[in-house]
Chains A and B, each alone.
With several copies, the nearest count.
Chain A
Amino acid sequence: MSYQADFLRALYRKMVTIRKFEEKIGELFLGGELPGFVHLYIGEEAIASGICSNLTDEDYITSTHRGHGHCIAKGANIKPMMAEIFGKKTGYCKGKGGSMHIADFSIGMLGANGVVGGGYTLAVGAALAAKMKKTRQVAVCFFGDGASNRGTFHEAINMAAAWKLPVIFLCENNQWASTTPYRTTTAVENIADRAVGYGIPSNIVNGNDVFAVYEAAKVAIERAREGGGPTLIEAKTYRIKGHFVGDPEMYRTKAEVQERFEKDDPLKNFVSDVLAKGWLKKAELDQIETKITEEVDAAVDSARKDPYPDDNELYSDLYVESEVNLRA
Chain B
Amino acid sequence: MREITFSEATLEAMSEEMQRDEKVFVMGEDIARQGGIFGQFKGLPQKFGVERVIDTPISETAIVGAGIGAALAGMRPVVDMHFADFVGVCMDEVLNQMAKICYMFGGQCTMPLVMRAPDGIIRSAAAQHSQSLEAFFLHIPGLKVVIPSNTADAKGLLKAAIREDNPVLYFEHKALFPLKGPVPEGEFCIPIGKANIAKEGKDVTIISYSLMMHRALEAADKLAGQGISAEVIDLRTISPIDKETIFSSVAKTKRLVIVHEAVKTGGVGAEISALVAEEMIDYLDAPIKRLGAPFVPIPFSPSLERLVKINADQIVSAVEEICK
Which A residues lie at the B interface, using CB under 8 A? Answer: 35-37, 60, 62, 87-89, 91-98, 100-101, 103-106, 110-111, 113-118, 120-130, 132-133, 137, 139, 146-147, 149-152, 155-156, 158-159, 162, 177-180, 184-186, 250-251, 308-309, 311, 313-325, 327-328
Kindly specify which of B2-10, B59-67, B275-283 makes contact with the partner chain: B59-67
- From known contacts A150-B58, A317-B102, A325-B191, infer whether A128 and B69 are also in contact, taking CB-CB under 8 Å: yes
B179 proximity list for chain A (CB < 8 A): none
- Of the listed residues A96, A110, A113, A124, the one surrounded by the most CB atoms of chain B closer than 10 A to its CB is A96
Most buried by B among A110, A133, A322: A322
Residue from the list B96, B105, B141, B165 in contact with A92, Cβ < 8 A: B105
A251 with B302: in contact, given A100-B128, A101-B104, A120-B65 (CB under 8 Å)?
no
For the complex, what is the distance from the CA of A227 to the CA of B105, rounded to whole Å?
31
A313 CA / B89 CA spacing, docked (Å): 30
A308-B29 contact in complex given A110-B72, A150-B58, A318-B102, C-beta closer than 8 Å: no
Across the interface, A111 reaches (CB within 8 A) one of B75, B101, B194, namely B101
Which B positions have Cβ atoms within 8 angstroms of A? 25, 29-30, 33-34, 51-52, 55-62, 64-75, 77, 85-86, 89, 92-93, 96-97, 101-110, 112, 123-129, 141-142, 144, 159-160, 163-166, 189, 191-194, 294-297, 299-305, 307-308
Which applies to chain B's interface (DSSP): helix, strand, loop or mixed? Answer: loop
Q: Is the CB of B166 within 8 A of A36?
A: no
A and B contact pairs by CB, cutoff 8 A, 5 listed: A116-B58, A156-B66, A162-B57, A319-B166, A324-B163
CB pair B128–A126 under 8 Å, yes or no, is: no
Q: What chain B residues lie within 8 Å of A179 (beta carbons)? A: 30, 33-34, 55
Chain A CB within 10 A, most for which of B74, B92, B123, B124: B124
Chain A residues with CB under 8 Å of B56's CB are 159, 185
Q: Which residues of A contact B103 (CB under 8 A)?
A: 96, 317-318
B69 contact from A37, A92, A115, A126, Cβ within 8 A:
A126
The answer on a CB contact under 8 Å between A115 and B96 is yes
Q: Which residue of A lies closest to B64 (CB)?
A: A121
Which of B129, B191, B304 has the most C-beta atoms of chain A within 10 angstroms of its own C-beta? B304
Closest to B77 in A: A125
Distance to closest chain B CB from A310 (angstroms): 8
Closest to B37 in A: A178
Decide: A149 and B68 in contact? CB cutoff 8 A.
no
Once A125-B70, A159-B66 are accepted as A-B contacts, the answer to whether A322 and B102 lie under 8 Å apart by CB is no
In contact, A320 and B71 (Cβ under 8 angstroms): no
Are B110's CB and A320's CB within 8 A? yes
Instruction: Out of A101, A121, A137, name the residue touching B68 (CB < 8 Å).
Output: A121
B142 adjacent to A147 (CB under 8 Å): no
Interchain CB contact (< 8 A) of A121 among B55, B93, B110:
B93
Q: Which of B86, B142, B160, B299 has the most chain A CB atoms closer than 10 A to its own CB?
A: B299
Known: A60-B73, A96-B300. A125 touches B34 (CB 8 A): no
- Given A125-B73, A152-B61, A314–B304 Cβ distance below 8 Å? yes
Shortest Cβ gap from A303 to chain B (Å): 12
The closest CB in chain A to the CB of B102 belongs to A317
**Distance (whole angstroms) from the CB of B130 to the closest CB of chain A:** 10
Identify A125's interface contact among B71, B164, B295, B301, CB under 8 A.
Answer: B71
User: B304, A309: Cβ atoms under 8 Å?
Assistant: yes
Q: Are A100 and B126 in contact (CB under 8 A)?
A: yes
Tell me if A98 and B165 are in contact (CB < 8 A): no
CB B86 to nearest CB in A, in angstroms, measures 7
Sample of 18 more A-B contacts, CB < 8 Å, known A158-B59, A159-B56, A324-B191 = A35-B302, A96-B103, A96-B301, A98-B301, A114-B85, A114-B129, A115-B89, A121-B65, A122-B68, A124-B66, A126-B70, A128-B66, A133-B74, A159-B59, A180-B29, A180-B30, A314-B307, A328-B160
Flag if B57 contacts A159 (CB, 8 Å).
yes
- Between A87, A97, A320, A323, the greatest number of chain B beta carbons within 10 A of the residue's beta carbon is seen for A97
B59 touches A155 (CB 8 A): yes
Identity of the chain B residue whose Cβ is nearest the Cβ of A103 in the assembled complex: B105
Report if A314-B299 is in contact (Cβ < 8 Å); known contacts: A37-B125, A150-B58, A152-B62: yes
Closest residue of chain A to B52 (Cβ to Cβ) is A132
**Could you say which residues of chain A place their CB within 8 Å of the CB of B29?**
177-178, 180
Q: How far is the CB of A123 from chain B (nearest CB, A)?
A: 6
Smallest CB gap from B62: residue in A:
A155
A177 in contact with B302 (CB, 8 Å): no
Chain B nearest CB, measured from A311 CB (Å): 6
Chain A residues contacting B294 (CB-CB under 8 Å) are: 314-315
By beta carbon, the residue of chain A nearest B96 is A115
Chain A residues near B71 (CB, 8 Å)?
125
B-chain residues with CB within 8 Å of residue A95 when the two chains form the complex: 106, 299-301, 303-304
Assess the A156–B128 pair: CB atoms within 8 A.
no
B-side contacts of A149, CB under 8 Å: 57-59
For the complex of A and B, the 8 pairs showing the least CB-CB separation, nearest first, are A125-B69, A121-B65, A98-B300, A87-B301, A317-B107, A95-B301, A93-B106, A114-B128
Residues of A within 8 A of B72 (CB): 105, 110, 122, 125-126
- Residues in chain A near residue B51, CB distance under 8 A: 132
Query: Is the pair A325, B69 in contact by a Cβ cutoff of 8 Å?
Result: no
Task: Determine the chain A residues whose CB is within 8 A of the CB of B297 once the complex forms.
Answer: 96, 318
Q: Is the CB of A94 within 8 A of B57?
A: no
Q: Are A178 and B73 neighbours in the complex by a CB distance under 8 Å?
A: no
Contact check: which of A186, A251, A322 meets B33 at CB < 8 Å? Answer: A251
